[in-house]
C-alpha cells in the first residue's frame, strides 16, 4: 500500500495523533479538559474499563504511519492507570518504527513504569508538575502526589527518557512560581512547558478567575534575557534562557496563530477520531471499522477513517484581516471563510 500524505482544507499537514487511552484518572485537576472528551470529566479508577485493546492500537499505528503520521502522544485520563500500557507502547512502536512516541502523565506511577516504557520504545515523557509547593500541588490536582511525581521524573531521567515538565498556569495558585519552576528545570536539565488554561470541560467552570495570560510571563522572560524561537507544531514560541534552559509556551486560547500550526487529530478513549479538542459534533467512529476484521481490511478501514476526519479539520480560531476580529467557532460547525482546496497527495 502506497504511503499517503494528508493535508486539510487550510493547507495544514496531518502529522500527529494524540491518543487518549483511558478516561480514568487517579487525579482530579481543577482545570482538566480530558482532551475534549464529551463525557466531561475523568472517571474514577475501575469505573470505565478501556474500550480499545493493545491490538487495536497496533492497527491504528500501522494505518497512521501509512498516511504520514510520525508523532504519537499517549494521554488520558492518566495513561499509566492502564495495566497494559507497556503493551500499547510496544505495539505502536512495532508498527510505527521510525515515529516519535511520547506520553503525558501526572507521574504518580512513573517510578514503576519508566524503565519498562523505555525498553519497549517510548521516546519522551511529559510530566505534569504544576507546583513545587506540596500544598499548592494538592490544591491544583486534588492529590498529595508531588513526591511521587518527582520520583517518577528522576526515574525517567535515570533510564534516559527525554523529559518535559508540564505546568498549567493557574491564576492565584502558581502564577508566581514560574521562576522557581525554571530553576528546577535548569537543575534537572529538562524543558519546562507552560500551558495556558482552556475553557473546556472542567477548565470552563472557573475559567475567568483561574485563567492567567502567558503573555505576561513572556514579557518577564524577555526582560530576563531570553531569546525566542518558534516550534513548527502550533507555532509555539520557545524561550531559551541565558543558561540554556528551554521554556516552551502552549497558548491555544483565542489564538489563530496556534491553530494555524495544528498538525494533529485526536483519538478518544471510546475509539472516536476528532479533528480538534474543541470539536462538539460527532466525530468519526473508528472502533467498529477495525474490530473483528482481517488485519488488512482493518488497516484500510482505519486509513479511510483518518481521511474522513481530516476533511473535518479546520482552525478553531481565525483572524479576519478585513474586520480586525477574531472568529471563533463554538459549536463544531465549519467556518464559512475562503479556504484552500482539500488536498490528498497519494
Q: Could you give the CA distance from residue 36 to residue 107 in angstroms, rounded to a whole number?
A: 21
262 annotated to bind ligand? yes
264 annotated to bind ligand? yes
94 annotated to bind ligand? no
259 annotated to bind ligand? yes
**CA angle 62–67–70, rounded 5-degree value:** 70
241: Cβ contacts below 8 Å, ≥ 6 apart: 182, 186, 221, 224, 225, 226, 247
**What does DSSP say about strands 264-267 and 16-20: parallel, antiparallel, or unpaired?**
parallel
**What does DSSP say about strands 246-250 and 237-240: parallel, antiparallel, or unpaired?**
antiparallel
Q: Could you give the CA distance from residue 191 to residue 185 in angstroms, rounded to a whole number?
A: 6
The residue length of the chain stands at 346
191 annotated to bind ligand? no
332 annotated to bind ligand? no
Three-state SS across 178-200? Answer: HHHHHHHHHHHCCEEEEEECCCC
SS3 content of the chain, % helix, strand, coil (to 5): 35, 20, 45
Q: Long-range contacts of range 332-337, CB-CB < 8 Å, 24 or more positions apart? A: 332/278, 332/279, 332/280, 332/281, 333/281
Q: Could you give the CA distance from residue 140 to residue 79 in angstroms, rounded to a whole number?
A: 19
Q: Are 93 and 69 in contact (CB under 8 A)?
A: no
**Phi, psi (degrees; rounded to nearest 5) at 281:** -100, 170
Question: Which set of grid coordinates corresponds to residue 211?
Answer: 485563567
Q: Could you give the CA distance from residue 133 to residue 170 in angstroms, rounded to a whole number?
A: 14
22 annotated to bind ligand? no
Q: Could you give the CA distance from residue 225 to residue 87 in angstroms, rounded to a whole number?
A: 44
163 annotated to bind ligand? no
Helix (H) or strand (E) segment spanning residue 125: strand 124-128
209 annotated to bind ligand? no
82 annotated to bind ligand? no
128 annotated to bind ligand? yes
Known binding positions for S-adenosyl-L-methionine: 77, 128
Q: Which residues are annotated as a binding site for [4Fe-4S] cluster?
A: 25, 29, 32, 259, 262, 276
Annotated binding site for GTP: 18, 73, 104, 164, 264-266
Residue positions in the annotated binding site?
18, 25, 29, 32, 73, 77, 104, 128, 164, 259, 262, 264-266, 276
Amino acid at each position: 500500500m502506497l504511503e499517503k500524505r494528508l493535508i486539510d482544507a487550510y493547507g495544514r499537514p496531518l502529522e500527529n495523533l494524540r491518543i487518549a487511552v483511558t478516561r480514568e484518572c487517579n487525579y482530579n485537576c481543577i482545570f482538566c479538559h480530558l482532551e475534549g472528551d464529551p463525557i466531561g470529566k475523568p472517571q474514577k479508577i475501575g469505573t470505565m474499563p478501556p474500550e480499545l485493546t493493545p491490538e487495536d492500537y497496533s492497527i491504528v499505528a500501522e494505518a497512521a504511519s501509512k498516511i504520514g503520521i510520525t508523532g504519537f502522544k499517549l494521554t488520558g485520563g492518566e495513561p499509566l492507570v492502564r495495566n497494559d500500557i507497556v503493551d500499547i507502547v510496544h505495539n505502536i512502536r512495532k508498527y510505527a518504527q521510525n515515529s516519535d512516541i511520547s506520553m503525558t502523565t501526572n507521574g504518580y506511577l512513573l517510578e514503576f513504569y519508566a524503565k519498562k516504557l523505555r525498553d519497549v520504545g517510548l521516546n519522551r515523557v511529559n510530566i505534569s508538575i504544576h507546583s513545587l509547593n506540596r500544598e499548592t500541588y494538592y490544591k491544583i490536582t486534588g492529590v498529595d502526589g508531588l513526591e511521587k511525581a518527582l520520583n517518577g521524573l528522576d526515574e525517567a531521567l535515570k533510564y534516559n527518557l527525554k523529559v518535559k515538565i508540564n505546568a498549567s498556569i493557574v491564576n492565584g495558585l502558581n502564577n508566581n512560581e514560574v521562576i522557581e519552576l525554571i530553576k528546577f528545570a535548569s537543575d534537572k536539565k529538562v524543558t519546562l512547558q507552560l500551558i495556558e488554561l482552556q475553557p473546556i470541560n472542567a477548565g470552563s467552570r472557573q475559567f475567568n478567575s483561574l485563567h492567567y495570560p502567558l503573555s505576561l510571563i513572556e514579557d518577564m522572560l524577555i526582560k530576563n534575557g531570553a531569546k525566542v524561537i518558534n516550534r513548527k507544531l502550533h507555532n509555539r514560541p520557545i524561550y531559551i534562557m541565558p543558561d540554556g534552559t528551554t521554556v516552551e509556551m502552549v497558548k491555544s486560547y483565542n489564538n489563530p496563530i496556534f491553530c494555524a500550526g495544528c498538525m494533529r487529530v485526536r483519538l478518544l478513549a471510546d475509539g472516536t477520531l476528532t479533528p480538534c479538542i474543541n470539536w462538539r459534533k460527532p466525530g468519526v467512529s473508528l472502533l467498529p471499522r477495525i474490530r473483528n476484521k482481517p488485519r488488512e481490511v482493518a488497516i484500510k478501514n482505519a486509513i479511510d477513517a483518518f481521511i474522513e476526519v481530516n476533511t473535518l479539520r479546520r482552525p478553531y480560531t481565525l483572524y479576519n484581516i478585513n474586520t480586525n476580529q477574531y472568529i471563533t467557532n463554538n459549536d463544531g460547525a465549519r467556518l464559512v471563510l475562503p479556504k484552500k482546496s482539500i488536498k490528498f497527495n497519494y
